[in-house]
Structure 1
Amino acid sequence: MNKLVLRSALLTMTVLGTGALLAPAPAMAQVGQASLRGTITTPAGNPVVEVTAIEVSTGIRRSATAGADGSYNFASLRPGTYRLEIKLQNGVRNSDAFTLRVGQNAGLDLDLSTPADTAAAPAAGETAPAGGDEIVVTGNRIRSLDGGQVGINITQRLIEQLPQNNRNFLAFADLAPGVRFIESADGSSRIQGGAQDSRSVNVFIDGVSQKDYVLKNGITGQDSSAGNPFPQLAIGEYQVLSSNYKAEFDQVSSVAITAATKSGTNEFHGEGFIDFTNQDLRSRRPTEIYPTTRDKVNSNNKQFGLALGGPIIQDRAHFFVTYEGKRIDSPYDVRPENGFPVSAVPSQYQQNFGSFSQRFNEDLYFGKIDIEPSDKDLIELTGKYRKESGSQIATGINAPSTATLNKVDEKRFMLRWQRSEDNWINDARVSYQDTKWAPTPETFGNTTFFQASTLNNGNFTRTDLLRFGGGGSQQDKGQKGWTLQDDFTWTGFNGHTIKIGTKASFIRLRSIEQNRANPQYTYDINAFSPTGFNDQVPYQLEFGVPTGNGPIDIRSSNFQFGVYAQDDWDVTSHLTLNLGLRWDYERTPAFVNFVTSQENLTAISPANYPNLVNADYNINDFISNGRNRKTFTGAFQPRLGFTYRIDEAGRFAVFGGYGRSYDRNQFDFLQQEVNQGAYAVRRFNFLGADSNPNNACVGADASTCLTWNPIYLTPEGRQQLLAGAAGGGREFRFLKNDLKVPYSDQFSLGIRGRFQQVSLELGYSHVASKNGFAFLLGNRRPDGSFFFNDPANPTDTPAPPFGFSPPGYNSIILGTNGLKTNADSVYFKLTKTYTQASPWSLDATYTYTEATENQLGETYLLDFPSISDYAMLRSSGVPRHRLVMAGSIDLPLGFAFSSKLQVESAAYQKAILNQSNPFQRVIVGRETDGSGGGWGRRQIDMALTKYVPIRFISDQTRLRFRVDVLNVLNDYNYITFNNDPASQNWGARSSYDVGGNPPRTVKLSVGYSF
């Protein structure tokens, strides 16, 4: 079957590629392109012969033969400003300029039947003659044919004008219903759609997927990085879709973002900027005020860049290049969890707590050349290079010595050829990527980890206090390879835009994961005395070592293939149907060809580990012989949408749709099965050093539960531990043989209306995701049970069987599917577009969401025996109420003002609670206290810009002086809350940490453009 799929994929690519080169094959518009179609009504006897769309800035022309009824169809146009040249049988008419947005499916009907000299004044949004032959097209005349898509377009003006902190162009994606842009305390950021996590998003730049196949962020290079995925100077605009995208979109089950880069024009244009802020330009962070006011931590944020574009050959070839850099020193805090007092920690360790500063560097380069050798051809070549370095650590329990050295290195190149004919377009792309994410500990040596334990009414909890010494893991992960895409659109059938496309990727995934590169010694400070502080005898030691069973560099030559068909069918002048179907396939040899080692088979055999004989699962479902795993071939994805225009002008429309969208299983999960056999974390537990009544030494084999000896602090002592234990405390990873692929089902229904430059939208969306990946605990007690449920034993608690591992080994961890989420949202969206006549804009989106999930906000579900034991409860990561507003206005004397407001309700948190009466273990949840005033988060940002024309190089040359004020009201948006359900303070603020939410900050900018 796999060979057949591969042959079919290669044959399809060959046939489509040959058709692109030799014959007028059906063609299709690629992700990110705009489309424009409509009907031109003319006087009797003077029909339309040809319609040409001319890109104003470059002179690039695209022509389409008009139908007998005056219909025309441009199925694939770069986003930009255009005018129409309408060739009649007798004469030529021209429209004025109008703008097509990225991903926009636009309709524009023109009525030229009224002579210019007798035309009456047009109604609002109608077409009118002006200046004899020029046709005035107002923005209100262009109607949307987007079907069931739910989202928003982020224009160049929004990107340029709105205040922001880090110049990440994705920061405005939260204007789309159900989308959040989340910044963490370490400067990293991520996109979240509905109740799904970040790995389910995808970003397309110039039609090329930026999907991270290995790590969790969804976008290459973004995992735990404070950097930006792309230079903002290079982004022209982008579209954010939170649900119900068309069949062109692949490897995404929540948010799809498609961005178009800038191109050079027929005039030379350039710009440069410098942004700056430091500790003197910000208010004190809460941790610099409470519990006592102290000096600010040094912070420094410098961002700078330049761009240049222009003609190589007038109307035929253009170039665009840009560079952006970051040099950031940012503060972070080290403090215990749950408000544990620092004063209770011995003085020799207290210097590890406090506020500190970390450094981050980023350099981003992008270049683009476009060539139009003929009126029918467009060739584009783009390249991107990203490089990051510095030191990184998040606010929490980790002392500065445990910081990680950043290393992100990313290269991408793309060659595109678009061929246009009267009734078809072919869009072919070849792209190459080479990405690397390689964090390394800044300090090497022993790591010390302090925890405080409490036992309250049978509920045992641990509070993490401090980790210091050596850093954590050493990793090197990435992806490299080629992608071939070919997309066709056929417009030869009246009323239909038929699209087909295919994509094949040959990607080599790699992963080096050396967890516990520094040995970690974990101390229960309450182990010997409830009033003392145990820092002498750890209860656990973990350290990583190669096993010798293969290379630690895990590689997998993956093959990905996708094909789709889409028909945008204008059934009547009022009804448009968007009918699509796609199919995707991915083969991961590292998973499919994996063979479970004999050591693992022996360790879990009935003779050695009889606990699984009566277990509630079959371990054979997780054992691979290299032939019993198949690649999933059922990823068929219908994508259906409709638009019904209520009135003749199309100003009001009802829309809706249904779509299924498959994502993929993250390689970071799949590689762990291989990695555990090549590089394993050894775990040893020490007798009498743990106050947990259900500690790991209860029921465990004596070879991994030993008496402490200080020699174990040395490499020689750790080698003794390895030599004296058969399994060496190694953990097992078993993945289910019939792993499924995560997907979501998406429904939408709503109404859109247009009033001059104002657009309104009221809608409902439902997104249900299934088959999310999770790890479960495979250990069982001697009788095969997960919980030892004995009500007659009052000292027992329903704890997971961590202490009942195979003799000599650590726990069995099972990888499977089964995570689910549901998000039901009602939203209202208002957009007022900016025009020269009305120089202000407003985008506002309010979303109410009821979201549920069967997880605790993480991948490791080790508290119950199966995923079915986790009920669907309110989602931890989705606020019920969320309002985002952004606006700008031109002021007199060359000033411009802009602002952005974000308000959302309080977060929800869940935890496990043990109950002795009745004897059970349950998941409980509650809203956190929030930040006050009834909201969970609020932030208002403002910016004032002054433009000074200097006319040095051209009439458009000007200086720009700008002041951004972030978090104007200095709201404290706290993010850490007590997570102990047995505590009376559960859900209350446990620290003054505000994460990535800045205090009131002034950012100064100066720019130059011509």
Structure 2
Amino acid sequence: MSRNLGAHLAALVCWLAWFSFAQDTATLTGLVTDPSGAVVVGAEVTVTNVATGTATRTETNSEGMYRVPFLRPGTYRITITAKGFKRFLRDNVTLSVGATVPVNASLEIGTVADIVEVTASVPLLETETSSTGTLVKGDYFYRMPLYQRHVRSILYLTPGVNVSGFGYGGGLGGFQINGESSDRIGFFEDGMYGVQPTGGNTTDTIQNTIAEIKVLTTALPAEYGHSAGGAIVVVKKTGTNEFHGLISDLVRVGAMQHRRFFQLETFKQVNSTLLFMQPDANLSGPILIPKLYDGRNRTFFLFAWQKLIEKQSQQRMYTVPTPEELNGDFSYAGSGVSPYPIYDPRTTRLVGGQWFRDPFPGNIIPKSSWDPVARNILAQNIWVQPNRRGTPTPTGFVDNFMAMPYKKVFWNNYSLRLDHQFTSGFRMFYNWSYNDRWGRLPDLSILNPAFDDTLRATENAWTTTGIGSTYTFSPTLISETRLTYFRYKAYTPSPAYGKDWAKLFGIPNIEAGSMPEITGVPYVANPAVDVQEHFNFREDVSKLSGRHAFKMGYDLLRIRRNNYSITNSAGVFNLAATTGLYPNGASIPNTGGKELTRLLVGAVSSATFTVNLLSNLPRNWIHGVYFQDDWKLRSNLTLNLGVRWQVQSVMNNKYGQQSSFDPDAPDNVVLGARGVITHPKSLHNRDWNNLQPRLGLAWQASRKLVLRSGFAVSTVDERLPTPPTQEYGSITARIDTPSGDYRPRFQLSAGPPLPLPWPQIRADGTIPFLGSNYGSRGASWVDRNRKSPYAMNWNFNLQYNFSGNYLLELIYTGDRGVNGFESRQINQMPFDWAWNLRQNNPAEFSRVEGNPQIYRPFPNFGTINFLTNGANSVYHAGTVKLEKRYSRGLSFLTYYTYSRAINSSTGNQLIPRQLDRGRADFDRTHQYTGSMNYELPFGKGRRWLNRSGLWNAIFGGYDMVFIYRIASGNPLTFTYAGSPYRYMPTSLVAYRTGRPNSTGQKAHLRDGWADIGGDRWTRANQSKMIVSMDYFRYPEAYTYGNVGRNTMDRQRFIDHEFSASKEWRIRERLSIQLRYDFQNPFKWYNLGPPDTTVNFTNPSIFGTILPSTGNEATTANGGGQPLQNITLAIRW
């Protein structure tokens, strides 16, 4: 965006008084009557924010109703006056984000000088809206012992949210709301859309700035777009007429951190280092310039800062070559396992129409057979030597090196908000937030740092800024405007780039600059930069007419990405496998060694050399309009009627470099063949049919009971669709092995034959495929009639308010995802075709196995992906939720959910979808979550010892916070390996691969699965299976397994966090707090899933939980290593 355009847009915001979304605000409404019950028309209503003194004025309409939208969450005073009536005053009215709060008034006969003051708390019942969700106050949220203060951790406390694996509050990945994927979750900070265009990350709000945070799960009002999978709405605090501030520091040192479940040594045993600090601060108040400007009641600011510093050693398991392997010995004598035999691909030969390849005697590759390049590479002394035996497998030892790398992480967060009220009918705000992250965990299995890819540590930075205004045209017509800019930048340097690696390795005929990527050699990639941006302009108008509260608006989202990486012009060398061959050329199962065997041989089966010609520049526009009517049919019945319409641009690159496969046109590369890559100006038709109805009702059956129900259709954003770019973007020289030929092309030490076969760029800038292995020629076929996916969700909600401060909710929610995007491989043959051919013509089938490429529907191509619609999902859940509003020092939120999420997964249109329809990966049948804040009843202002002095200093001011979560495990899918049978060639035949057969019994965790044997630090004692392999067997030859997807639950998830704090109040507005957090105090560890690969050649591993890196939860996920934190805070 140019500076001039930015200036014009900013000016537009300042004087146009428009708006878009009111997603960070609340609405106050009510009916004003006289003593007889007749409506009072023209009564003046003044709503004053108690903290800032800012006021908004309106009048009752002909129905006696008033409505004040776009109010910031907070505490308000309501004053209502009318001629001939006493002044009505209602104080301490608390408004929360997204709430529509009714405050009715019955005026008494008298003069305006007389005041009738009404005292009552805002009811817990939601009588005006039909959406479901969870609201948490910012101060309560700040007191929670949440890991690293991540705002998205609110999802852990929300009914209807499932977590895939362990989850992590630092991003949206892994969270699903009502069965919809995480990339469909919207995030709004002060109404500004803050989701990174490629998904996963959002604006990282500083926790101490939050006034309220709310998660909306179903039946969102029509004003909400970009949120088909629910929305997180964050409202930041604003400055008030008094100065307030916070300075705090959270600290953890080594003595406060326990070891992980599989960690062999404690921190003391290895003299490890740990320093974790998370200081934060904020300052807010009116803008005061002595003798020049007094901003009280008008101009306010809030500035906040937070930093994360982490320096600690972490135990990691690595797999490194053994000294025997580095000397060419792969026999694994004494390991207790039989190694897979390895073959010399250089001996591959065709004799009499049959293929032969010789094994290495004794599974030893003699040094005389090593390629000189392998010698040069091994001379670089790349790896450390093993320091433990590890786990033996037929291809070597795994997890045979343990180390404590020193991890460093640094995050910086800044936030600023400015508010100014020009008049009671015109106010503006400015919002800015910035955060950056850098971190590195060295790979200590790499001895030579030149081969350590962790040195390419990415520098990440996020910026969100926006400006908005609210303007009152009349007591019944109000509007607001917002303009938002979001930017994410990731820069990844490369210490390996620019050196002459080819000379060092001894590979002739290739250029210097990049490190060659060679099978079996650690690779350090080239530099890359990624910039993602979106611009959001939103407008909204609210109109009160009779019993109708209308809201309408327009939403524009402009998304773009500039992504560039330097490709590898020095070559990617795919070394020939050391597997055996059947006479028809198919690989013999259970043969071949690890990648190091291929490096020592140094035989190249294919190589590519690529030069990037352009950046990845996808662009997208999304336009949305909506209309909402909250219709007060009766005093106790509200209908929420809305509709939203949205349209987005066709996927495209900035300069039109895009492609799509045409199955009917003749190929311009392989003469006489069918199918060609085309380059249309438009890849598919624009989808205009995106009408999204939103319906709901709220019926207050009695003073304590409300029935609510809602239904919504939401179009799914394709935020940053990246078009296919085959024959664009980069120019590649390929040296391929012809289809059906299993001999290597050249040796590494000989280098690629010159000249390299660079294709000639066509006049239109496209680049034709050049090579003989058409299996490596991919294509994407974009469905011309692809539609925007959408989600339908619905709810039925019963709320019952008992004992004043308690709210019981019974909630049923449902969701159905329709027409999700999917990619289907179409260049294959049906299974029945291959089965019948094998039965009726074995000789021809043998030729199919030997050279499957020529039997593809399009033999001039490899994988052809058809980009279309078809993915579907369904979710149902029942929830019992109990909430207690703060009173007598206690507040809590607890719920239990029973749910089921089902979807289908197929990457091939020839595989019936019902074969893989099953439980979603993130499904959890049972979930219980509870959180509680309790102020001990001792000290000043509390029930006992209510006085100042020594007793209060010792025994007063203690608070405790508890969080407890337990849930069923996610489901597991079983695969197999090591089968002695031959199966259909997967490149050609479409079938469900990799699934075993069932023996007829349903697999389940064994009783006492938590006991994994002996002690958890000795690998030899960790041999107990938690699920048995006896439930499975290999599929028969040339068949596929009958075990479905996600058929058994893994271990349950359990988590507990605890916090205790003590506050000393020095003066009325100055206090010091000392806080102690303990995450996982009872050491309830959550372990990773057991090994699910059925392998009868190595049965000792199946069903066991390997102590590999990442195979247990971390504290970031819950139920990880127990952590203790101390926080010292000063507030004023």
- TM-score range relative to shorter protein: 0.7 to 0.9
Structure 2 distance, partners of 1:76, 1:582, is 20
**Are positions 1:205 and 2:287 aligned together?**
no
Structure 2 distance, partners of 1:247, 1:354, is 54
Structure 1 distance, partners of 2:964, 2:757, is 57
Instruction: Give the match for residue 516 of structure 2.
Output: none
Q: Tell me, what secondary structure is at the counterpart of 1:310?
A: strand
**Are positions 1:258 and 2:230 aligned together?**
no
Instruction: Give the match for residue 858 of structure 1.
Output: none
C-alpha offsets along residues 708-746 of structure 1, whole Å, 9 cap, x if unaligned? 52238x7x6798587994679454344333332221111
For the Cα contact (< 8 Å) 2:573–2:608, is it kept in 1?
Answer: no
For the Cα contact (< 8 Å) 2:152–2:172, is it kept in 1?
Answer: no
Q: Which has the larger displacement, 791-800 or 843-852? A: 791-800
C-alpha offsets along residues 665-722 of structure 1, whole Å, 9 cap, x if unaligned? 253x524x12773147888787xxxxxxxxxx8xx365x973452238x7x6798587
**Are positions 1:301 and 2:280 aligned together?**
no
Instruction: Give the match for residue 359 of structure 1.
Output: 408
From the superposition, tell whether residues 50 and 736 of structure 1 become closer, same or farther in structure 2 (CA, over 3 Å): same
Offset, 1:375: 0.7
Offset, 1:480: 2.7
Partner letter of residue 133 of structure 2? G
Offset, 1:184: 5.6
C-alpha offsets along residues 400-454 of structure 1, whole Å, 9 cap, x if unaligned? 934351222222221111012311110111222222234456766999xxxxxxx
Partner letter of residue 916 of structure 1? E
Q: Tell me, what secondary structure is at the counterpart of 2:685?
A: coil
For the Cα contact (< 8 Å) 2:196–2:488, is it kept in 1?
Answer: no
Q: Which of the residues 840, 845, 851 maps onto 2:901?
A: 851
Instruction: Give the match for residue 842 of structure 1.
Output: 892
For the Cα contact (< 8 Å) 1:540–1:685, is it kept in 2?
Answer: no
Instruction: Give the match for residue 90 of structure 2.
Output: 95
Offset, 1:499: 0.4
Q: Superposed, which structure 2 residues align to 1:281-320 within 5 Å?
A: 281-289=256-264, 295=270, 298-312=273-287, 313-320=295-302
Instruction: Give the match for residue 939 of structure 1.
Output: 1055
Aligned length: 909
Instruction: Give the match for residue 773 of structure 1.
Output: 821
Structure 2 distance, partners of 1:786, 1:86, is 82
For the Cα contact (< 8 Å) 1:761–1:828, is it kept in 2?
Answer: yes
Instruction: Give the match for residue 452 of structure 2.
Output: 401
Structure 1 distance, partners of 2:870, 2:445, is 31
**Are positions 1:741 and 2:792 aligned together?**
no
Structure 1 distance, partners of 2:224, 2:446, is 41
Offset, 1:503: 1.4
Offset, 1:155: 1.1
For the Cα contact (< 8 Å) 2:35–2:106, is it kept in 1?
Answer: no
Instruction: Give the match for residue 994 of structure 1.
Output: 1112
Q: Which of the residues 25, 37, 46 maps onto 1:33?
A: 25
Identity value in percent: 18
Structure 2 distance, partners of 1:592, 1:738, is 22
Instruction: Give the match for residue 535 of structure 1.
Output: 596
Offset, 1:919: 2.7
Structure 2 distance, partners of 1:396, 1:362, is 27
Structure 2 distance, partners of 1:273, 1:314, is 27
Structure 1 distance, partners of 2:671, 2:900, is 45
Structure 2 distance, partners of 1:522, 1:894, is 68
Structure 2 distance, partners of 1:597, 1:638, is 35
Instruction: Give the match for residue 1005 of structure 1.
Output: 1127
C-alpha offsets along residues 615-657 of structure 1, whole Å, 9 cap, x if unaligned? xxxx68x85522462222111110111111111x3x2111111
Offset, 1:110: 3.8
| Structure 2 residue runs without a partner (length 5+) | 288-294, 321-387, 503-518, 582-589, 760-769, 939-955, 975-993, 997-1034
Instruction: Give the match for residue 105 of structure 1.
Output: 100
Q: Tell me, what secondary structure is at the counterpart of 1:267?
A: coil
Partner letter of residue 465 of structure 2? F
Q: Which of the residues 638, 652, 655 maps onto 2:693?
A: 638
Q: Superposed, which structure 2 residues align to 1:200-279 within 5 Å?
A: 200-213=184-197, 215-217=198-200, 219-220=201-202, 229-279=204-254
From the superposition, tell whether residues 18 and 285 of structure 1 become closer, same or farther in structure 2 (CA, over 3 Å): closer
Instruction: Give the match for residue 369 of structure 1.
Output: 418
Offset, 1:98: 2.4
From the superposition, tell whether residues 786 and 637 of structure 1 become closer, same or farther in structure 2 (CA, over 3 Å): farther
Partner letter of residue 409 of structure 1? A
Instruction: Give the match for residue 761 of structure 1.
Output: 809
Structure 1 distance, partners of 2:896, 2:831, is 53
Partner letter of residue 504 of structure 1? L
Instruction: Give the match for residue 964 of structure 1.
Output: 1077
Q: Which has the larger displacement, 433-442 or 782-791? A: 782-791
Structure 2 distance, partners of 1:292, 1:344, is 31
For the Cα contact (< 8 Å) 2:134–2:215, is it kept in 1?
Answer: yes
Q: Tell me, what secondary structure is at the counterpart of 2:652?
A: helix
Offset, 1:783: 12
**Are positions 1:913 and 2:995 aligned together?**
yes
Offset, 1:280: 2.6
Alpha-carbon RMSD: 4.5
From the superposition, tell whether residues 402 and 512 of structure 1 become closer, same or farther in structure 2 (CA, over 3 Å): same
Q: Tell me, what secondary structure is at the counterpart of 1:670?
A: coil
Q: Superposed, which structure 2 residues align to 1:51-450 within 5 Å?
A: 51-67=45-61, 70-89=64-83, 90-111=85-106, 133-140=116-123, 143-145=125-127, 147-180=129-162, 190=173, 191-213=175-197, 215-217=198-200, 219-220=201-202, 229-289=204-264, 295=270, 298-312=273-287, 313-329=295-311, 331=314, 333-335=316-318, 341-343=390-392, 354-391=403-440, 401-403=452-454, 404-420=456-472, 421-439=474-492
Q: Tell me, what secondary structure is at the counterpart of 2:262?
A: helix
Offset, 1:527: 6.2
From the superposition, tell whether residues 365 and 58 of structure 1 become closer, same or farther in structure 2 (CA, over 3 Å): same
Q: Tell me, what secondary structure is at the counterpart of 1:569?
A: strand
For the Cα contact (< 8 Å) 1:900–1:941, is it kept in 2?
Answer: yes
For the Cα contact (< 8 Å) 2:26–2:97, is it kept in 1?
Answer: yes
From the superposition, tell whether residues 311 and 494 of structure 1 become closer, same or farther in structure 2 (CA, over 3 Å): same
Q: Superposed, which structure 2 residues align to 1:382-531 within 5 Å?
A: 382-391=431-440, 401-403=452-454, 404-420=456-472, 421-439=474-492, 469-471=522-524, 475-491=528-544, 493-512=545-564, 519=572
From the superposition, tell whether residues 533 and 659 of structure 1 become closer, same or farther in structure 2 (CA, over 3 Å): closer
Q: Tell me, what secondary structure is at the counterpart of 1:170?
A: helix
From the superposition, tell whether residues 56 and 106 of structure 1 become closer, same or farther in structure 2 (CA, over 3 Å): same
Which structure shows the bigger proportion of residues in strand conformation? Answer: 1
From the superposition, tell whether residues 534 and 84 of structure 1 become closer, same or farther in structure 2 (CA, over 3 Å): closer
Instruction: Give the match for residue 877 of structure 1.
Output: 922
Partner letter of residue 81 of structure 2? K
Q: Tell me, what secondary structure is at the counterpart of 1:252?
A: coil
Q: Which has the larger displacement, 92-101 or 733-742? A: 733-742
Q: Tell me, what secondary structure is at the counterpart of 2:634?
A: coil
Offset, 1:582: 0.5
From the superposition, tell whether residues 473 and 291 of structure 1 become closer, same or farther in structure 2 (CA, over 3 Å): farther
Offset, 1:144: 1.2
Partner letter of residue 752 of structure 1? Q
Structure 1 distance, partners of 2:22, 2:863, is 48
Structure 1 distance, partners of 2:305, 2:266, is 43
| Structure 1 residue runs without a partner (length 5+) | 1-9, 117-130, 221-227, 448-465, 614-618, 687-696, 856-860
Q: Tell me, what secondary structure is at the counterpart of 1:973?
A: coil
Partner letter of residue 913 of structure 2? S
Structure 1 distance, partners of 2:907, 2:389, is 26
From the superposition, tell whether residues 652 and 469 of structure 1 become closer, same or farther in structure 2 (CA, over 3 Å): same
- Structure number, greater radius of gyration: 2
Instruction: Give the match for residue 980 of structure 2.
Output: none
Offset, 1:274: 1.1
Give me the TM-score of the superposition, normalised by structure 2: 0.72
Give me the TM-score of the superposition, normalised by structure 1: 0.80
Offset, 1:560: 1.9
**Are positions 1:903 and 2:963 aligned together?**
no
**Are positions 1:577 and 2:626 aligned together?**
no
Structure 1 distance, partners of 2:122, 2:696, is 24
